[in-house]
Amino acid sequence: WEPYCQYHHLQDRVRITADIPPRLEGTWVSTRCEVRPGPEFLTRSYTFHPSRQFRLLQHYYTNSGCEDPAYSLTIRGKLRLRQASWITRGGTEAEHHLSKVGIVVHSPGAMQRLAARLPPVCVGLAMGRMVPGRMYELYNSRGGRACLAALGFSMMEMGLVRVETQHSNHGGKVQELFLGDVHTDWTQRTHYRPTGYQQPLQNAMHHVHPCPVCALVYRSSEQRPPVLPRILAAPLTLGGRWVSQRCEARPAVLFLTRDFTFNPDQHAWEGIYRHYSDPTCSQPTFTLTASGHYAQGNPSIKVSGATEFVFKVTQVRVTALEESTAKVLNGTRPGNCGQAGGWEVGVEQDLTPTDGCTVLGIKLPHKEYELFKIELNHKKHPLLFIGERPTDGSSPDRPQRRPTSFQAPMVLCSGGETLPSHHHASNSKQVQLAVSGTERLAQVALLLLGCVLCSWLCVY
Ligand SMILES: *[C@@H]1O[C@H](CO)[C@@H](O)[C@H](O)[C@H]1NC(C)=O
């Protein structure tokens, strides 16, 4: 493995700090067209004042490239930071109060589509008479929330906040604002209290250079939404090894890095999920390696530029990297989770002979319906986006559950690397894995053992 493929290079070269409570003052902007479950396509520019007042701009688009603005929302209110989150280590809980939400529609077509969604009572104005480019009040502190609800509008993302600062050796810094994740189930999004994060916004003054999208979003207003340059469609060539760019957080206490290798000739893949107990991924808990086969399907109708896939897992291996995780797995009944009594820290166990692992929620047989896309970044390096996991920890095991949004992009670290041959040798038995099992283990490990949480809580 090339050293630059390891996640740890980030920690070696770049120091990451996160203040608790976070300092939010300033303007934070999207770095690309964001895709939310639904799907919804948007860009965001959020400004926080020292007085705790905020003014947020959200621009919504009709397409997955954010080239065709539909409407913009301007959201005013106040944010109050509460305590360090007990659920999501490193995050801070916050409460917000909305004072005003305004809407500007950008085209007659967008107006018609909105009119179909909004109840007629909305803001007392007949949507048919709305003028594109003019601001209308959707909500104020005296009014009801009917119009916001009809749009699926929610600022629950403000419930969990984290600011990370990356200090490079050259003295430069990049600041990122992580806000709570949006539930993948549309019906849950207005009351779900986030425990994971969305893709971060970057500070308009301290962002990765160059960032053409940052500049466009920063200069935008509700009257002049940013129109993003068309992204050249990158061919979906999966071959090679892809790794996380950072320590990733998932809802319900899970920090991990992902490391995938695809071999298109054999339709084979291997994914290594390295789990950690802390938000900088420095304290490993366990590693899960899954491998199997995949089939590429049709281009997605919902998310243009993305492609549908079906994944199968034929082998799962787990290595406990701390005593408490090893103990939990060791205590499972014989035949349920690898070799009972054989779990030790640092020793890999194959779960294939036991058809998975009950305590991890790895149920067989099982298939997953996926959504992939590849985009080139500004340096023309490919980024791989894999579908977002359902927030409730379930698995996208039916076509209707296929994701409509994405996890953090992974970078290609080496081309044409093939899987070691032994992964293809054991095709005798089809073991399939709910990849959500990885989440389950993290929860089991944390909830049953408590010790990880306790040692952290005791610090505060
Ligand atoms: C696992 O169980 C075996 C048999 O009960 C025991 O000898 C061993 O010490 C256990 N290992 C751990 C890490 O608890």
How many residues are given for the chain?
A: 460
428-437 pLDDT, tens digit per residue, is 233 333 334 4
Of residues 197, 198, 201, the one with CA closest to residue 174: 201
The Cα–Cα gap between 202 and 179 comes to 11
341 C-alpha to ligand 1 centroid (Å): 5
Q: What is the pLDDT of residue 436?
A: 40
Residue 129 binned pLDDT confidence (cut-offs 50, 70, 90):
confident
β-pairing, 92-105 with 135-140? antiparallel
Which DSSP string do the residues of 208-252 spell out, in sequence order?
PSP-HHHHHHHT--SSS---PPPPPPPP----EEEEESS-EEETT
pLDDT of 277 > 70? The answer is yes
**Which ligand 1 atom sits closest to the C-alpha of 342?**
1
What residue type is 236 in one-letter code? L
**Which ligand 1 atom sits closest to the C-alpha of 323?**
13
Alpha carbon 183 to its chain's center: 11
**Which ligand 1 atom sits closest to the C-alpha of 341?**
2
Please tell me if the CB atom of residue 40 comes closer than 6 angstroms to any atom of ligand 1: no
259 C-alpha to ligand 1 centroid (Å): 30
The Cα–Cα gap between 340 and 329 comes to 8
Please tell me if the CB atom of residue 341 comes closer than 6 angstroms to any atom of ligand 1: yes
Please tell me if the CB atom of residue 97 comes closer than 6 angstroms to any atom of ligand 1: no
Kindly tell me the number of DSSP H helices and DSSP E strands found in the chain: 8, 21
pLDDT of 268 > 60? The answer is yes
Q: Where are the domains of the chain?
A: 13-218, 240-454
β-pairing, 69-84 with 53-61? antiparallel
Please tell me if the CB atom of residue 6 comes closer than 6 angstroms to any atom of ligand 1: no
Average pLDDT of the residues in 125-148:
78
Q: What is the pLDDT of residue 4?
A: 55
Average pLDDT of the residues in 238-264:
89
388-415 pLDDT, tens digit per residue, is 999 988 889 999 999 999 999 999 886 4
User: Residue 204 — φ and ψ, nearest 5°?
Assistant: -60, -25
CA-nearest residue, atom 14 of ligand 1? 327
Average pLDDT of the residues in 315-330:
92
Please tell me if the CB atom of residue 329 comes closer than 6 angstroms to any atom of ligand 1: no
| Number of C-beta neighbours around residue 322 at 10 A | 18
Mutation test residue for ligand 1: of 343, 345, 448, 449, the one with most atoms within 8 Å of CB? 343
Please tell me if the CB atom of residue 334 comes closer than 6 angstroms to any atom of ligand 1: no
Between 123 and 352, the higher pLDDT residue: 352
For residue 29, what are its two tokens? 């902007």
Residue 260 binned pLDDT confidence (cut-offs 50, 70, 90):
very high
Cα–Cα distances in Å, from 316 out to 247, 351, 364, 390, 443?
22, 5, 11, 21, 19
pLDDT of 422 > 90? The answer is no
Is the four-CA dihedral 358, 431, 37, 200 of positive or negative sign? positive
Could you say which DSSP state residue 196 is in? Answer: S
Burial environment of residue 416 by CB neighbours within 10 A (0 to 12, 13 to 18, 19 or more): exposed
Of residues 196, 191, 166, 192, the one with CA closest to residue 178: 196
Q: What is the pLDDT of residue 123?
A: 56
357 C-alpha to ligand 1 centroid (Å): 18
- What residues pair up with 44 in beta bridges, in sequence order? 58
Quote the longest CA-to-CA distance of the chain: 72
User: Residue 451 — φ and ψ, nearest 5°?
Assistant: -60, -35
Q: What is the pLDDT of residue 70?
A: 96
CA-nearest residue, atom 13 of ligand 1? 344
User: Residue 436 — φ and ψ, nearest 5°?
Assistant: -65, -15
